[in-house]
Amino acid sequence: MSEQKITGGWGWPGNSRKAHYFEEGQITSICGKWLYRGPREQGNDGSPDNCTACRRALQKKREKAAAEKLQQTGKLEY
């Protein structure tokens, strides 16, 4: 069997009321409550249909990455 690359993004696990965020190559959501291997949607981070815990964790990860980049380069880019 060939391994298919799993992209990061928002996915809708079965029986879930909300979309959850999954990082690239991971099958566990960043809130830690769901497993999912299906298709994932890029962007749409501000949707009310997204899991609040995932949205907050994603925002925190992005802020941390931006702060690290600022430390390394001295420039903040959005």
For the chain, give every domain's residue range.
9-73
Amino acid, single-letter form, for residue 53: A
Q: What is the pTM of this model?
A: 0.83
Q: Rounded to whole angstroms, how far apart are CA atoms 27 and 38?
A: 9
pLDDT of 38 higher than 90: yes
pLDDT of 73 higher than 70: yes
Grade residue 3 by pLDDT with cuts at 50, 70 and 90.
low
Q: Per-residue DSSP letters for 8-29? A: PEEE--TT-SSBEEE-TT-SBB
Span 52-74, mean pLDDT? 90
**pLDDT cut 90: percent of the chain above it:** 69
Q: Which residue has the higher pLDDT, 69 or 12?
A: 12
Q: Which residues pair with 22 in a beta bridge?
A: 9, 29
